Amino acid sequence: MKRYILFILLFAIVFAGNATDNKAKIEVPLRFDRYYSYDEVVEALQVLHAAYPEFTTLDSIGKSEEGRAIYALTINNPKTGDVLSKPGVYVDGNIHGNEIQAGEVCLYYANMLLTKYGENEKITKAVDKNAHYIVPVVNVDGRYHFFKDGNTSSSNRGLRVPRDDDHDGLFDEDGPDDLDGDGNICQMRIKDEHGNYKIDPEDKRLLVRVKPGEKGEYSILGYEGIDNDGDGKFNEDSEGYLDPNRNWGYNWMPPYIQRGAGNFPLSGTGIKAVHEFMASHPNIIIGYAFHNTGGMWLRVPAEKSTEIPRTDIAAYDIIGNEAIKITPGYVYMPAYDLYPTYGDSDSHMFFIHGAYSFVGELFMRSAQETYKVKKKGETTAPSNSREEQNRERLKFNDNVALGELYKDWKPFTHPVYGEIEIGGWVKMSSRLPHTFMLPELVHRNAAVVLLSDEQTPELTIEVFDVKEIGKNLSQVRVRIENKKGLSSMTAQAFKDKLYQRDGLKVEGGKVVAGGKLSDIRLNKVSYKENKPEVQFFAMPGNSRVEYQFLIEGKGEITFNYESQKAKNVTTSVKL
């Protein structure tokens, strides 16, 4: 069913005002040997929706602080059930504006599900079984400005909520300036015999610190910029900062405890919109938030004082322990092992929306390291020193990345400092894989999400024993089984009564007694005292449970197992 078709979308047709500004048109299937700007992401989503209207819904779920639309692509096969009747798999990325490869993983996942449906058995089953909600770019302003403006690899990370960083009554008036107009904010250095740096004898592009008693050659002036507000400081009040991954509702803490938290939870307009989207899709059973560095699969809790049930950890382990095999070099661990956070999206999803949640930290800088061969069959890893790491990175830049990640130093006349030099690592370096590495990265990480698709709850129900035990009275035994690794309801949500618990309901006859069958041979049953026709519980992963009912009457008896996050199942028997 793969379609190699070029779809040309006119600006005035779909989502007027949000079409792309660039001239290049997007094809299906999408390409992943490049990065897409915000406008191109929007166009890519529109093209996928136009190519597969029978499977997709494309919605603008909210607006950013600067008025840009946040899009969600829903993928579902309506022939196998309504979108809310199936386990929901949620995927988002680019919550931090500079973490653009996270958005590419989301696009790849969407592209993979749609273009391989009907050709690949695993993907066909995933699309038929689950509802998929994909938000490639949460921080749409950050992504837009990361491409459009001069940036470091780490700038335009937060939401663009104005903030007076230097407490002068002005907001965002003195950020870095792209002095040479090349689209990057690089370093400034100046020749200085009293400086703390000298040219690296192994590579003249690098500076190393002078030793005590050595004569200096350079001073580092920081990132490109001028004193825009005339206060004698440079770059001290850049674009407003609210960390969108510290602004969620669960365990939110104010800025004096958690930097970047904002004035109150969900104060970011886009963050609130994404929360509301999650809330309106209560069938979401697992979610992924993709970030950009470290090579990690992180699960809740995000701070050590919080504990989660062991059965939930066991469910996480089913995914996490396989994920690190799919993405070699990654580690799987609770988020607090990295550092404690408050108001993070994964905790919010788990504790507020009752869904298993993973953070995928995508890129490992070690993938850009060059190893020195000592002798045949032996290698030694690069030194831990910053100087040696930079030398190794430059070798990667020169020999593998074709020199595209590092800018050679060029003279520049600064209005304050006079004759300086500008150069160093560009914005598409450091935290981002070179585009030749992108196809494997997005595929491996999307494959982990596909693994989760396979492990969403898959329930069956059967009547396995019927016995007449008295006049007009029958003993009926029912077995419910979850054949996959994720529970139909997290143990945490069950404990907290976060939403209505799963239920087994009996209809069509008078239920005299009913309860869980604990020993089928000895006929041990924990009968429920009130309303035995309704039994509340949840189905852990890879488990089965048996119930026994004593039913008065004749005719057809129906047994319905209803779950908010797993597909309902039903069976019947005639007494």
Q: Tell me the three state secondary structure of residue 306.
A: coil
> Which residue is listed with tokens 């019927």?
466
pLDDT-based confidence at 363, cuts 50/70/90? confident
What is the percentage of the chain residues whose pLDDT exceeds 90? Answer: 84
Give the whole-angstrom CA distance, residue 394 versus residue 391.
Answer: 5
21 has a pLDDT exceeding 80? no
Confidence of residue 11 (pLDDT cuts 50, 70, 90): very low
Return the C-alpha torsion angle 400, 403, 409, 410, nearest 10: 170
Tokens 């939930």 belong to: 312
Which residues make Cβ contacts (< 8 Å) with residue 195, sequence separation at least 6? 210, 216, 217, 218, 219, 220
Check: CB of residue 505 under 8 Å from CB of residue 562: yes
Residues 142-184: tens digit of each pLDDT:
999 999 999 999 999 999 998 888 888 888 888 899 999 999 9
Of residues 128 and 233, more confidence is placed in 128
pLDDT tops 50 at residue 4: no
With cut-offs at 50, 70 and 90, classify the pLDDT of residue 240: confident
Single-letter amino acid, residue 64 = S
Instruction: State the pairing for strand pair 284-291/356-361.
Output: parallel
Q: Are 328 and 290 in contact (CB under 8 A)?
A: no
Mean pLDDT (whole number) for 526-536: 96
Per-residue pLDDT tens over the stretch 384-395: 688 888 898 999
Query: Cα dist. 73→277, 351, 354, 355 in Å?
Result: 12, 24, 21, 19
pTM score of the predicted model: 0.92
**Per-residue exposure over 140-166, b if at least 16 CB sit within 10 Å of its own CB, e if not:** bbbbbbbbebbbbbebbbbbbbebebe
pLDDT classification of 205: cutoffs 50, 70, 90 = very high
State how far the Cα of 205 lies from the Cα of 394, in Å rounded to an integer.
9
CA-based diameter of the chain, in Å? 105
Q: Is the peptide bond between 301 and the residue preceding it cis, with omega within 30 degrees of 0?
A: yes
pLDDT in tens, 253-282: 999 999 999 999 999 999 999 999 999 999
Average pLDDT across the chain, whole number: 92
What values do phi and psi take at 30, rounded to 5? -70, 160
Handedness of CA 191, 194, 195, 197 (dihedral sign): positive
Q: Which two tokens stand for residue 463?
A: 């009547």
Cα distance between residue 434 and residue 431, in whole Å = 10
Whether residue 528 is predicted with pLDDT greater than 70 in this model: the reply is: yes
| Terminal-residue alpha carbon distance, the chain | 47
Report pLDDT digits (tens) over 296-345: 999 999 999 999 999 999 999 999 999 999 999 999 999 999 999 999 99
Structure tokens at 350: 């788990």
pLDDT number for residue 24: 54
Whether the Cβ atoms of residue 336 and residue 301 lie closer than 8 Å to each other: yes
Q: Which helix (H) or strand (E) holds 103?
A: helix 100-115
Which of 466, 482, 465 lies closest to 474, judged by CA? 466
Distance CA 63, CA 269 (A): 7
Rounded distance between C-alpha atoms, residue 101 and residue 367, angstroms: 15
pLDDT score, position 384: 65
Pairing of strands 543-552, 510-519: antiparallel
Average of pLDDT values for 479-484? 98
Residue 53: alpha-carbon gap to chain centroid: 25
CA atoms of 129 and 77, how far apart (whole Å): 8
The burial of 522, by beta-carbon neighbours within 10 Å (0-12 exposed, 13-18 middle, 19 or more buried), is given as exposed
Spatial separation of the C-alpha atoms in residues 426 and 36, rounded to whole Å: 18
What is the Rg, in whole angstroms, of the alpha carbon atoms belonging to the chain? 28
Domains parsed from the chain with CATH numbers = 5-145+245-250+262-363 (3.40.630.10), 162-240+372-425 (no CATH), 459-574 (2.60.40.10)
Q: What are phi and psi of 479, to 5 degrees?
A: -120, 130
pLDDT band at 9 (very low <50, low <70, confident <90, very high): very low
Specify the residue for token string 């396995």: 464
What is the C-alpha to C-alpha distance for residues 194 and 197, in angstroms, rounded to an integer? 9
